[in-house]
């Protein structure tokens, strides 16, 4: 009898847990009126169809087809086939109750050679996607550059290392304003410039795979001590040029706004000593401050100026005036938190002499052998939800409380052949992740932070850059073995409840 009562009790507890999973403790009604909820994606990770309708190759096409660059030896030639299945995916967003969709335009679909002749088939595709979204009441948030530089420009003049990129990017961006700006009111010029500057040109782990680590042992070409800074500088000048064009020619008519999506790890001092508190600030200077300081104040952080010296490019007076104030909103891609400590030995600097070494910090998700928190699947993604509030308050205090969109937030599960689809759909950890991060985001809003929206990474499992298909971030499971069929995970039901609390 006792054992039966115990079994009944256990079943009851399991039912309560299941109810908690499917019933949100907070919901959209807790957030301010007009707060935007959406999902996010990028062209290269989603579209596939890499050789269809006149699209030209990008640096990621070449990189992903280079042996040893992708963890599972995959490529994004098909990805999740959204190029052909966008109407189905738009309906999935509509069914959940999402307000917006953040996606990127593939530069080489519009200009297969990066410049020159416009590819009308590419324009037609994005017109159809934008119209499909609007027909379902979903607002498009469009990223112009999500890492997929046309390979032709890399071949022609080394892409972001050459100032010629400013004119070509401006032409591409203005073409998008002309073709889509009557319906697109939120533009993101760049996604995570810090990531592609460091991963692509400092450590060589992403396209175009340039670095000089250990005398080019890992990369055939590059200079880790200078190239990340040159790339970042050209990105800032490109954004400023595009913002100037938009404000002078299109903003008054189209009534839109421009921002950048920045990748931001939050850094906690490893110990409460002044040297580690200073190290955490320097780590942030060499991440968010590297880009946001020029956009807000007209120059790089003083810690970068003093530590990088002549390797850090300088803005002319005219360039500084163009860059400063060129953001209408700040996009934040925030996933995780690391500890930061002062690098007193500078062994890293001796080996690398790059932007990581220049910061004089060591940043890791461990304090000794103890992890900062529970980990998701990715080796860098530890779940520390309270840092969402810390980061929002930091931006409010340092940068004058700008308008912020959380342009990415999410976590991944492994793509294991030993996990059935049925079990893969049980993503309780993802539900806790979003519930907790949203709760701390809400707390920051109640403390006066000017946050306007939140985008989940991601609607679908997708091709995750150097991790390939080994990582699953989606609210929907994608069966790569069965024509990319979509299956809703439990988190879909959670978001339905969160976004539609009265239903």
Catalytic residue at 428? no
Query: Does some domain include residue 234?
Result: yes
**pLDDT score at 348:** 55
**pLDDT score at 416:** 95
Reported pTM: 0.94
Query: Does some domain include residue 13?
Result: no
Specify the residue for token string 């979003």: 434
How far, in Å, are 284, 308, 358, 383, 501 from residue 96 at the CA level?
35, 47, 45, 24, 12
Query: Does some domain include residue 329?
Result: no
What CATH number did the domain enclosing 47 receive?
A: 3.20.20.80
**pLDDT score at 350:** 53
My answer on whether omega of the bond before 208 falls inside 30° of 0, hence cis, is: yes
Q: Can you tell me the distance from the alpha carbon of 105 to that of 111, in angstroms, rounded to the nearest whole number?
A: 11
| 488: enclosing H helix or E strand | strand 485-488
The SS3 assignment for 38 reads strand
Query: Does some domain include residue 195?
Result: yes
Catalytic residue at 408? yes
Q: Which domain holds residue 81?
A: 29-263+380-499
Burial tier of 298 (Cβ tally within 10 Å: 0-12, 13-18, 19+): middle
**pLDDT score at 2:** 47
415: phi then psi, degrees, rounded to nearest 5: -100, 90
Question: pLDDT tens digits, the chain, 503 residues: what are they?
Answer: 444 444 444 444 444 444 343 445 899 999 999 999 999 999 999 999 999 999 999 999 999 999 999 999 999 999 999 999 999 999 999 999 999 999 999 999 999 999 999 999 999 999 999 999 999 999 999 999 999 999 999 999 999 999 999 999 999 999 999 999 999 999 999 999 999 999 999 999 999 999 998 767 889 999 999 999 999 999 999 999 999 999 999 999 999 999 999 999 999 999 999 999 999 999 999 999 999 999 999 999 999 999 999 999 999 999 999 999 999 999 999 999 999 999 987 655 555 578 889 999 999 999 999 999 999 999 999 999 999 999 999 999 999 999 999 999 999 999 999 999 999 999 999 999 999 999 999 999 999 999 999 999 999 999 999 999 999 999 999 999 999 999 999 999 999 999 999 87
Burial tier of 296 (Cβ tally within 10 Å: 0-12, 13-18, 19+): buried
Q: Can you tell me the distance from the alpha carbon of 443 to that of 464, in angstroms, rounded to the nearest whole number?
A: 31
Query: Does some domain include residue 177?
Result: yes
DSSP states of 73-122: S--SSSTT-HHHHHHHHHHHHHHHT--EEEEE--HHHH-TTSSSS--HHH
Query: How does 430-459 read in b/e, with b if 16+ C-beta sit within 10 Å?
Result: bbbbbbbbbbbbbebbeeebbbbbbbbbbb
Q: Which token pair is 125?
A: 């595709």
**pLDDT score at 6:** 46
Proportion of the chain in helix, strand, coil states, percent, rounded to 5: 45, 15, 35
Q: Are 471 and 378 in contact (CB under 8 A)?
A: yes
**pLDDT score at 94:** 98
Query: Does some domain include residue 482?
Result: yes
How far, in Å, are 385, 428, 490, 502 from residue 496 at the CA level?
21, 15, 10, 10
Q: Which token pair is 365?
A: 């998700």
**pLDDT score at 15:** 41
Q: Can you tell me the distance from the alpha carbon of 338 to that of 319, in angstroms, rounded to the nearest whole number?
A: 34
Q: Are 172 and 107 in contact (CB under 8 A)?
A: yes
Query: Active-site residue among 139, 192, 268, 464?
Result: 192
| 356: enclosing H helix or E strand | helix 355-358
Q: Can you tell me the distance from the alpha carbon of 268 to that of 340, in angstroms, rounded to the nearest whole number?
A: 6
Number of domains in the chain: 1
Query: Does some domain include residue 63?
Result: yes
Q: Can you tell me the distance from the alpha carbon of 76 to that of 413, in angstroms, rounded to the nearest whole number?
A: 19
Helix axes 164-180, 120-135, angle to 10 degrees: 50
The SS3 assignment for 491 reads helix
**pLDDT score at 80:** 98
Q: Can you tell me the distance from the alpha carbon of 252 to that of 355, in angstroms, rounded to the nearest whole number?
A: 40
**pLDDT score at 216:** 74
Query: Does some domain include residue 297?
Result: no
């Amino acid at each position: 009898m006792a054992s039966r009562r115990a079994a009944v009790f256990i079943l009851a507890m399991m039912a309560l847990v299941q109810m908690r999973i499917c019933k949100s403790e907070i919901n959209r009604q807790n957030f301010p009126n007009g707060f935007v909820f959406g999902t996010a994606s990028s062209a290269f990770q989603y579209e596939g169809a890499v050789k269809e309708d006149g699209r030209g190759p990008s640096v990621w096409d070449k990189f992903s087809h280079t042996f040893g660059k992708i963890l599972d030896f995959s490529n994004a030639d098909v990805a999740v086939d959204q190029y052909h299945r966008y109407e189905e995916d738009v309906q999935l967003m509509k069914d959940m109750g999402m307000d917006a969709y953040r996606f990127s335009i593939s530069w080489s679909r519009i200009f297969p050679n990066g410049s020159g002749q416009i590819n009308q088939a590419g324009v037609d595709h994005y017109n159809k996607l934008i119209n499909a979204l609007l027909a379902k009441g979903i607002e498009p948030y469009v990223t112009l550059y999500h890492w997929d530089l046309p390979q032709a420009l890399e071949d022609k003049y080394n892409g972001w290392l050459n100032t010629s990129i400013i004119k070509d990017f401006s032409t591409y961006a203005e073409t998008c304003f002309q073709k889509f700006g009557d319906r697109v009111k939120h533009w993101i010029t760049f996604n995570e410039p810090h990531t592609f500057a460091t991963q692509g040109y400092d450590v060589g782990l992403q396209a175009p795979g340039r670095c000089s680590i250990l005398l080019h042992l890992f990369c055939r070409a590059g200079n880790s001590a200078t190239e990340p800074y040159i790339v970042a500088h050209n990105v800032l000048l490109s954004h400023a040029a595009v913002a100037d064009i938009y404000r002078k020619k299109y903003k008054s008519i189209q009534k839109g706004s421009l921002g950048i999506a920045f990748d931001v790890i939050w850094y906690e001092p490893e110990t409460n000593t002044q040297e580690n508190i200073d190290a955490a600030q320097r780590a942030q200077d060499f991440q968010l401050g590297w880009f946001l300081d020029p956009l807000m104040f007209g120059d790089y952080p003083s810690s970068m100026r003093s530590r990088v010296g002549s390797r850090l490019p300088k803005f002319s007076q005219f360039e500084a005036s163009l860059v400063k104030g060129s953001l209408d909103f700040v996009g934040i891609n925030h996933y995780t938190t690391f500890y930061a400590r002062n690098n007193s030995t500078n062994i890293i600097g001796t080996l690398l002499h790059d932007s990581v070494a220049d910061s004089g910090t060591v940043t890791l998700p461990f304090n000794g052998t103890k992890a900062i928190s529970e980990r998701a699947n990715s080796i860098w993604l530890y779940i520390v939800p309270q840092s969402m509030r810390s980061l929002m308050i930091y931006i409010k205090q340092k940068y004058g409380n700008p308008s912020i969109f959380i342009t990415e937030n999410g976590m991944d599960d492994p793509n294991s052949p030993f996990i059935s689809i049925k079990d893969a759909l049980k993503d309780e950890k993802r539900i806790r992740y979003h519930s907790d991060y949203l709760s701390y985001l809400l707390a920051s809003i109640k403390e006066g932070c000017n946050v306007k929206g939140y985008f989940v990474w991601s609607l679908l499992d997708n091709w995750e850059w150097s991790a390939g298909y080994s990582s699953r971030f989606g609210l929907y499971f994608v069966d790569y073995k069965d024509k990319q069929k979509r299956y809703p995970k439990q988190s879909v039901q959670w978001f339905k409840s969160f976004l539609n609390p009265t239903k």
